[in-house]
Each structure stands twice: as C-alpha cells, then as structure tokens.
Structure 1
Amino acid sequence: MNPARITLLGGTGFIGRALSRRLLAAGSLVRVVSRHAETAADLPIGVSARSADVRDPRAVSAALVDSDAAVYLPGRVQGRRRSDFEEIHARAARTSAACARRAGVARFIYLSALGASPDASAWADQTKAEGELGVAHAFPGAVVVRPSLVFGAHDHFRSDMLGLMRRLPVLPVIGPGTRVQPLHIDDMVEALRLLLRGQKPRDNILQAAGPRVWRHIDLLAALRDRAEIRCRLLALPEWLALMLAVASRILPKSPLSPDQVRLMRSDKIADPENARLGDLGIVPRDPLA
C-alpha cells in the first residue's frame, strides 16, 4: 500500500511541526502549506514545503493535489475587528474544505478550540464555531477537533508565561478563575494521527483535553513553582484588563487585545456531550511533567 499523502494547511506552527514529525515517523508523505512555508525555520526534515495563502482558493486547490487527507490548522487570538478572525477561522476554512472535497481528498480535519460557540463572548470563539459549521457543510464527514491549551517544547502559552514571570516581579492574570484543561502536545498529535488513519469520534467532534481541570491562576502558579521562579500573580479585574487592552491599541504591536480579554470569560474544558481522547484509546498524560 502506498504511503498516505497528507497536507497540513497552516502547518508551520507549533502543532503543525509536531504533527509533521509524528506523521513522517509513521511513514506518511507530508506537505506543509503556509504563506511562507518554503522559508520557514525548524520544519522537520522530509516534509514538502509549499508557500500558499489559505485565503486563495486557487492556491489551496493546487496545494491539495494528490492529497489523501488534509488538516486545517490556521488560527489567531489577536485582531482589531471580527472580520480579522472570520477571514481565517471561517471563510478560509470553509473554502479549504470545499477545495479538498473537489480534489477528492478522503479526510478533512478542522482544528477548532474548546469554548467555540456562536454565543461566546470572544470573536475568536464565535468564528471558530462558524468555521465548524462551514467546514461541515463544505465537506460532509469532516472531523472537528477542539483542543484546550497545548503544552510542549516551544509552545505559545507556557513558554511565553514563564518568560514573563522571569522578567516581572508581578504578573497580572486575566481571567484568574477561568477553568482550563491543558494537554500534552504528544497526545494532541497522536489524536490527529489516529483521525487521519480513519478513526471517527461520535458526531465527528473530538475534544482534546488533558487529565486535570485547572483555574487559570492556579495553573500559572504551578508552572511558576515548578520552574522555581519568584513572581507574584495578581488577579486582574476584567474591567481593568479591558481598559489596558484598549489603551494598548496605540502601540505598533499591541501585547493585548480586548478580544483576548473576552476569550477568558468562558471555561476551556471538555464536556460529556462530545468524544474525548479516551474514545481513541489515548490516556492523557500530565502536560506539566
């Protein structure tokens, strides 16, 4: 049997690079697609890199030629307008799914997020929910994966937070009581690998979450203590966080947006309504270990 040919749209990020390594080790042929894939650093040896914009249907169609399966990975947490999120989470995702169906791709996976809902406070979560619906319409049978925070070497959360705590004597915490359920990157990519092989969760939705639910501020405290960092964590009221986010808009690269504050209004944990990693035979490990 010929090796599976898998295309990772938006595959140059943290999850995409880890997934590429896992798929290559399993014998798959992996094509990584992003706007600057051919010049991206740290891509695993053996991947085929192709530069294309997921917002361009013709470029996506060309990138999906001869693919057996595809994973849509692009996402964003910062934006000044709802349309910034809608463009990537919904319109480009729906278009990519439609291109995959026309190209004869057998399996399509859309990476969403725990907390995605049309009624969510944050544009990021609203448009992820919109993307789920659009992908399901464009590619019947597509699988939606909703991860919580994903931890691993060079991730975007733990690494950034530890970096801040090493530099600051006091770290303001947005959404201190928000519940999260972080998972290890190895569990995340193993779940995606199994789905690409043809395993199907019920209702075509998989929740990717770790073994423990944390309050946001408690999770940060655990990370701080394990790293033996001396930094005080200060719970920040939402009204103050929103004021700081609005004020920071005058900066060329704002470190915080109002939507990031709204994103922390809702818990990011698994519920019993949809499948979890255990349904694929994965026993989630401690992501902090």
Structure 2
Amino acid sequence: MASAAKEFKVPPPPVTAGASGTGGRSSFSGITCTVFGSTGFLGRYVTHHVAKSGSRMILPTRCGENDRQHLKVMGDLGQILQMDYAISDEGAIRHAVERSNVVINMVGREWETRNFSFEDVHVTFPKKLAEICADVGVRRLIHVSALGAADDHPSAYFRTKAQGEAAVREAFPSATVVRPAKMVGVEDRFLNVFAEHSRKYPMVPIIDGGDTQHQPVFVDDVAVAIRQIVHDELTSGRTYELAGKKVYTVHDLAKLVLRTARSRRSTAYIPSFIMRALSCPHEFLLRKVPFPMPTPVGLTRSYIDAQSRDYVKAPDTLGFSDLGIDPNDIENGYVLDYLRSFRAGGYALGEAPWEQNAA
C-alpha cells in the first residue's frame, strides 16, 4: 500500500499557487525568488521583470551599497531584500535560498583574477548552489549559461560554462538552462567595444577576417524570457537557446555600429594571435595582483575567443518562439539608441550626409 501511495502521489502546487491581486506591482505572484548575479548586465533586467510581476526578491550581492541601491525600487516597498554573501560561503548561500521557491543563477565572469578563476565561478559555485537548492527543497532552479558553451571549446570560458551546466543538471535534474547569445544593450561589452574603439583609434580593429557569425539579442528580451520561464513550470528540465532574429558577421556588426555612431572610421583586420599576445600581460597581472585592475575593452581572452567561432542558435533547440516571445530586431532604433552617445555631433536625430550612401 505504501508503494502504491507513493506512485500516485499528488504533485505539489505550482510556484504561483499563492498568487493574489490583479498581477504586477502591488500584487503577489506566489513567487519568492533568489537572484544571484542581480547587479550584472543581465541581472538588473531580470530583477526588474520578475519583481514587477509581484514577486518577493532576495538579492545576495558582494558589492557595496552604492552598487546595488538601484535595485531597491524594482519592486514594491518591502519586497526587495538585499544581503551580503560570498560564493565560497555555503552558510550564506543556504540562508539566501532556504526561504525561496525559485532561484536564478546569473553569476559569471569574463576574465580570471587572483581571487576567482573560471572554474570557481562557472563550475564550483553553480554545483554548490544546485546541491544546496536540492537539499533545502527549492522548487525551480534557472541557470544562465552561454550560447556556444562546449566541452571541446578552445576557450576556458566556454569550456567551464559547459561543465557548469553538467554539474547543475547532475545535482538538480529539473533545472532549466538558459543559453543567451551575445547580448546587446546600454551596458554591453560587445557593440560598445566597436563604438569606443571608433572614438579612440584611427581604425576599428576586427579579429581575423571578421567573418564569424553571431546572432546578437537584446538583453531585455532575454530578461522577459527568463521571467516567462519562472512562471511556467513546464519549462523545468529544458534548455533554451535565446538568440536574435538575424545572423550577422562580426564585420557587419562593426559597420552597423559605425553607421549608428556616424563615425567616418574604417575597419582593420588584426590576426587573432596578435590580439592574444597583446592580452597576455594583462591577463597575467589580473591573476597575480591583489587589487582591482582596469580592463581594456576588447582585450580579454574571452572576448577574443568569442570571435573565433560561429555563435548561432541550433535549428532543433528551444528558443524564444517556444516561450511565445517575439524578440526585437537589434537594428530597431530603440535597441541601438545607446550608441548615439558616441556621435561626435551629439544626439541630433536624422541621417548624416555620409550615411546616405554608406555600405
């Protein structure tokens, strides 16, 4: 009888079972969500969208108050709780998730330092987090990885991303894995690199021939997709590759940025081995010095390696359409509006004379 009762066990109610109100702010979605990486590029958008749907938010961070105060207004009064933690402190991690029914992990790093290696951030911490979530009974775990993560990738960044996915799935089989393509937006480290180089250098450097393909996606679309995943329990155990509508080469993206910024600069092809050689002294110092160092844009190994392969969504994988979302075209004026700040003539609207016949 005991085994039969176990076989026909009633599934637990959905995470939104306790929802009340009309939805949105001043309502309760039934979700108490812990977000790791809330101060990052994607993290602030995810916090905004999940919080404004009426969710209680627990935001563990390791930064000062000035770096996280902008998150306080993303939900109603009393619904945003901030706390200090460290990725090596199991007690703090457990305290952050034990009252939540949803946990989102967006912790990542694009370069290694003396204190944190790719292995620490992309493998050890996600594995530890997944084990703790399984132990305390968290209902949903959403792990954000990266499009292009593979065990055989020449880049340590993408290899450890793949290893982190496997570790999370082993400890928490029902986890949802999200693989966003290169994200663009106000704080991105992709299109902003081309724009900044156009203001600093006589030519914009492009690695190798600039013919590798990318499918960049607007960061806010990824955040909306994660909010949809949080509310839809049918997404449990699945992997979603979130990429934009159109495939571009790196050269096409550089030209798009130059047209938007109204720059007269041209592009120059730089062999990848030269760029890697230039990045070596900086990468070495990052792993040795005990204090923060400025990081030149476009001169990290992960950025260079990201232009060595095509990063496009596989046709047979789940994506935006499976979540009922139509992502923005990145050439939409709203999406690329932030690049106008690089215009030498300011923010004036309209087309510059040399843009009219631009290639």
Report the TM-score, using the length of structure 2 for normalisation. 0.75
SS of 2:35 mapped into structure 1: strand
The one of 306, 313, 332 aligned to 1:263: 306
Give the corresponding residue for 1:198: 232
Which residue identity does 1:288 align to in structure 2? E
What are the equivalent positions in structure 2 for 1:124-273 lying under 5 Å apart?
124-174=157-207, 176-201=210-235, 204-249=238-283, 253-255=294-296, 256-273=299-316
SS of 2:57 mapped into structure 1: strand
Which residue identity does 1:161 align to in structure 2? F
1:195-232 deviation line (CA, Å, top 9, x unaligned): 11124459610001000011112112102201212222
SS of 2:195 mapped into structure 1: helix
Task: Say if 2:128 is the partner of 1:98.
Answer: no
Contact 2:275 2:304 in 1 (8 A): yes
What are the equivalent positions in structure 2 for 1:42-61 lying under 5 Å apart?
42-45=70-73, 46=75, 47-61=80-94
SS of 1:144 mapped into structure 2: strand
Distance 1:37 1:110, change over 3 A: farther
Which residue identity does 1:43 align to in structure 2? L
Distance 1:200 1:225, change over 3 A: farther
CA-CA distance at 1:132 after TM superposition: 0.3
- Higher mean alpha-carbon deviation, 224-233 vs 270-279, is at 224-233
| Higher relative contact order, chain-length normalized (CA < 8 Å, sep 6+) | 1
Distance 1:239 1:154, change over 3 A: closer
- Higher mean alpha-carbon deviation, 273-282 vs 84-93, is at 273-282
What are the equivalent positions in structure 2 for 1:34-73 lying under 5 Å apart?
34-36=61-63, 38-41=65-68, 42-45=70-73, 46=75, 47-73=80-106
Give the corresponding residue for 1:77: 110
Distance 1:207 1:161, change over 3 A: same
Tell me, in whole angstroms, the C-alpha distance in 1 between the residues paired with 2:105 and 2:284. Answer: 33
Give the corresponding residue for 2:33: 6
Task: Say if 2:25 is the partner of 1:16.
Answer: no
CA-CA distance at 1:173 after TM superposition: 1.6
Contact 1:120 1:266 in 2 (8 A): no
CA-CA distance at 1:123 after TM superposition: 0.4
CA-CA distance at 1:288 after TM superposition: 3.3
Tell me, in whole angstroms, the C-alpha distance in 2 between the residues paired with 1:120 and 1:78. Answer: 16
* Alignment gaps of 5+ in structure 1: none
CA-CA distance at 1:100 after TM superposition: 1.2
Q: State the superposition RMSD in angstroms.
A: 2.1
Tell me, in whole angstroms, the C-alpha distance in 2 between the residues paired with 1:202 and 1:99. Answer: 18
1:177-199 deviation line (CA, Å, top 9, x unaligned): 22111111221011101111124
Tell me, in whole angstroms, the C-alpha distance in 2 between the residues paired with 1:202 and 1:63. Answer: 21
1:14-55 deviation line (CA, Å, top 9, x unaligned): 211111111122111112222126442432413321111123
Contact 1:121 1:263 in 2 (8 A): no
Distance 1:114 1:183, change over 3 A: same
* Alignment gaps of 5+ in structure 2: 1-17, 20-29, 286-292, 333-359
CA-CA distance at 1:260 after TM superposition: 3.6
Which residue identity does 2:57 align to in structure 1? V
Tell me, in whole angstroms, the C-alpha distance in 2 between the residues paired with 1:16 and 1:50. Answer: 15
Report the TM-score, using the length of structure 1 for normalisation. 0.92
Tell me, in whole angstroms, the C-alpha distance in 1 between the residues paired with 2:72 and 2:163. Answer: 32
Give the corresponding residue for 1:287: 330
How many pairs are equivalent? 288
Tell me, in whole angstroms, the C-alpha distance in 2 between the residues paired with 1:203 and 1:106. Answer: 12
Tell me, in whole angstroms, the C-alpha distance in 2 between the residues paired with 1:217 and 1:121. Answer: 22
